Amino acid sequence: MPRHKDKITFELSVKIAPSHEGALEILRDVLTGIGFKRDEIIELRQKKRSRLCLYFPSPLKAEALKEKLKKTPLKGITVSIKPLLPRDWRDRWKTDFKPFRLTEHLDVIPSWLKESGPVSPRRPVYIDTSQAFGTGLHETTRFMASFIEQCRGEFKSFLDVGTGTGILSIVALHSGASRVRGIDISPESIKAARFNLRTNGYVIGRQTAVDDTFDASGRRRALALSLKAMDFEKFNEKTTYDFVAANLITHDLIQMGKKIISLVKPGRYLAVSGISLENYPLFRKTFGPFPLKRLRVEKGKSWVGVLYKKTVHGLSRESRNTEAHKFKETSLVL
């Protein structure tokens, strides 16, 4: 995200036609491949049409990228550049982002509306959308949040791979997690996640933090929260978790799948998304040999999310089938 709020910022916008939603992941791969960080690529959705935005302090850099994108074979995209004054920049996120329902029990509320009082009777998740990818607007984030909430009360430890804004960690805390670990390759994303956790009442310390959530006996619930900027390939901890969430692109899930799965306790949960519909058959083929039971599949207009349970050696087929029937494989159009 740009830091040039004291002068004109130039917005490069790539609009994607509804008939070419599959180009979204390809375009994101193209942009990261030429050097842009994940949290610099902002996805917005208006009137059922997606667009990716990047921001530059110089029109020359924006024009250079525009020329590169025009030479790609991608169909259904339109590239434009627009200057934003400081006030335009500040207001951009407030006009493009409104409160909305994230899960059955949670609403996402822009952080700047927190002081305005309750917007909905449902539980709020406050997010500052101007800082990093992962506001809940994207259907993959909704899939993941739904998986986490569906397992509420069934996990205590939670690992958030590619934490972004920290929204999934917040959902996990609302769902009963008491030990949460978030990692992201981007320091800016970790900064954003820290801010959002604080805004939602979760104070991050080196060891423990305490929030305003109470356990069944009425005692204040102690939390262990940790966020770190690092490359997941260098994540060498031997700790395993009750629930691991990885909302990444298909390529990363395939490349790092074995390592991600190794961090899930046997008999516990793994949720993945960021898989395009086009890549889902390849993803299923790659993940097929792993010791995972597929519990639930969510399919949207362009993306797929999957909830797994890591199998336990010696678990009977009858027990596995009983477990699978607790969940539904669905197609969800958002």
Note the pLDDT tens digit of each residue in 165-194: 899 999 999 999 999 999 999 888 898 899
Q: What is the pLDDT of residues 241-273, one digit of tens each?
A: 999 999 998 999 999 999 999 999 999 999 999
101: tokens are 């329902």
Which range, 2-11, 44-53, 233-242, has the best average confidence (pLDDT)? 233-242
- Mean pLDDT score across all residues of the chain: 80
pTM score, two decimals? 0.70
In the predicted model, is pLDDT for residue 240 greater than 90? yes
Which residues are registered as beta bridge partners of 184? 229
Q: Give the model's confidence band at 220: pLDDT under 50 very low, under 70 low, under 90 confident, else very high.
A: very low
Q: What is the pLDDT of residues 114-124, one digit of tens each?
A: 776 665 667 88
In the predicted model, is pLDDT for residue 1 greater than 50? no
Q: What is the pLDDT of residues 146-155, one digit of tens each?
A: 999 999 999 9
- Domains of the chain (ranges; CATH) run 9-94 (3.30.70.240), 97-324 (3.40.50.150)
Q: Give the model's confidence band at 4: pLDDT under 50 very low, under 70 low, under 90 confident, else very high.
A: very low
Using CA of residue 286, residue 289, residue 291, residue 296, what is the dihedral sign? positive
In the predicted model, is pLDDT for residue 159 greater than 90? yes
Mean pLDDT calculated for residue range 87-98: 58
In the predicted model, is pLDDT for residue 135 greater than 70? no
Mean pLDDT calculated for residue range 204-224: 52
Query: What percent of the residues of the chain are helix, what percent strand, and what percent coil, each to the nearest 5?
Result: 35, 30, 35
Residue 292 has a pLDDT of: 97
Strands (E), the chain: 9-16, 42-46, 49-56, 77-84, 100-101, 106-110, 123-127, 157-161, 179-184, 209-214, 220-229, 241-247, 264-276, 292-299, 303-310
Least-confidence region, from 11-20, 123-132, 305-314:
123-132
DSSP state, residue 312: P
% the chain with pLDDT above 70? 75
